[in-house]
Amino acid sequence: MFNQHFSKIFVIGGTGAQGLPVIRALVADNKYSVKVLTRDDTSPRAKSLLALGNVELLVGTLANEASLRTGFHGCDGAFVNIDGFNTGEKAEMYWAVRAYEIALQEEVKFFVYGNLDYASKKGGYDPKYRAGHYDGKGRIGEWILFQNQWNREKMGAALFTTGPYIEMAIASRTIMTPAVEDGVVTWRVPMGEGEMNAVALEDCGVYVRWLFDHPERSNGMDLEVAIAPMKFKEIAAAFEKVTEHPSRYVDTSLEDYWKQREAWGKMPAGYNADPKDQSTMSAKDNFTGFWNIWKYSLLKRDYRLLDEIHPGRIKSAEEWFRKENENGIKLGKGSLWERVQSENQVPILKIGEDGARGKL
């Protein structure tokens, strides 16, 4: 029976939107310490992690075997969220496989893979669901669970399958950044009446912590999380209810959505992917598939399981907006209404903060 306790976790993607709450949850009570891979240990995010205590930084890159080996060495757990928006789909898959293999060689005991749904497969391989950043993770997620059938006693493994961060709906430089148009907070995205499985980042920390705390149950598990299935008009209505400012969702055709983003649409979906490589998807092709995943309500979650694992989880957009509004005011960031004004918006993603730059 796999029943072990871990103490030191190697984290890839620790300075990212997802990694920060995961690390906070791991080190909060000193049960775990973490070693975080970063390309830049001088960034404000890297420094904020050091300030938590029980955190050490390793400068390197996920696209280098020596970095991976040094990272996994001496750690008994791993949380691996490979940034597909840097690597592109092809390199993401290669380095995710190598990360799993090197973790095994370095005697890591439990490997948590930051995953996304294998949307093409879940959509019966209909090309309209093709999003490289989903498929690139989802295929490797399946591969890891397959390897785990043989390796589970040596190194346990679990998938942590997320979805779009709800934080992106109020942040700058995301695919769903709002605009305040004549005093109305407006989201123009191509989601029709479909439902999106958005996640709350703070809850991601609790879920990942649970995976490490309960290996006897989580070994071999694909923990697929979300707040609730949400239509975008429900997100806008929740924002209006909490802030008491008019808000709306404008269903937008893919054509109009991309007309507003022509230059970005032509760029590779991964900023270090080779634009001449035929495997490299453009941002337009990639995020067209992404929006279709939600427009046609493709993905499902087991909310009963999530309630059991994390009874205090955020269960609706309204609850998230309410908490975020209160916390924002407490922390001096301002109210949600103030924070969505274009001059006050800030990125939630490190890629947004860095301007999609940095080495592979």
Question: Measured from the CB of residue 134, what is the shortest distance to ligand NAP in angstroms?
Answer: 8
Task: Tell whether residue 96 is a contact of ligand NAP (CB under 6 A).
Answer: no
Give the nearer residue to ligand NAP in terms of CB position, either 109 or 133.
Answer: 133
Among 18, 197, 219, 280, binds ligand NAP (CB under 6 A): 18
Q: Which of residues 27-56 bind ligand NAP (CB under 6 A)?
A: 37-40, 43, 46
Question: Measured from the CB of residue 138, what is the shortest distance to ligand NAP in angstroms?
Answer: 11
Among 6, 79, 85, 321, binds ligand NAP (CB under 6 A): 85
The number of CA neighbours under 13 Å toward the Cβ of 168 is 18
Q: What track of x and - describes contact with ligand NAP for positions 128 through 147 (by CB under 6 A)?
A: -----x--------------
b or e along 163-185 (b: 16 or more beta carbons within 10 Å of the residue's beta carbon)? bbbbbbbbbbbbebbbebeeeeb
Give the nearer residue to ligand NAP in terms of CB position, either 17 or 236.
Answer: 17
Task: Tell whether residue 168 is a contact of ligand NAP (CB under 6 A).
Answer: yes
Task: Tell whether residue 116 is a contact of ligand NAP (CB under 6 A).
Answer: yes
Please report, for residues 12, 47, 77, 98, 249, the alpha-carbon distance to residue 156 in angstroms, rounded to integers and kept in the order given: 18, 31, 9, 16, 43
Q: Which of residues 312-351 bind ligand NAP (CB under 6 A)?
A: 349-351
Among 81, 120, 148, 177, binds ligand NAP (CB under 6 A): 81
Task: Tell whether residue 120 is a contact of ligand NAP (CB under 6 A).
Answer: no
Task: Tell whether residue 358 is a contact of ligand NAP (CB under 6 A).
Answer: yes
Question: Measured from the CB of residue 183, what is the shortest distance to ligand NAP in angstroms?
Answer: 28
Sign of CA pseudo-dihedral 35, 6, 97, 288: negative
Give the nearer residue to ligand NAP in terms of CB position, either 86 or 243.
Answer: 86
Which residue of this chain has its Cβ atom nearest to ligand NAP in the complex? 16
Task: Tell whether residue 252 is a contact of ligand NAP (CB under 6 A).
Answer: no
Give the nearer residue to ligand NAP in terms of CB position, either 53 or 355.
Answer: 355
Q: By CB under 6 A, name the binding residues for ligand NAP.
A: 12-19, 37-40, 43, 46, 61-63, 81-86, 116, 133, 162, 164-165, 168, 349-351, 358, 360
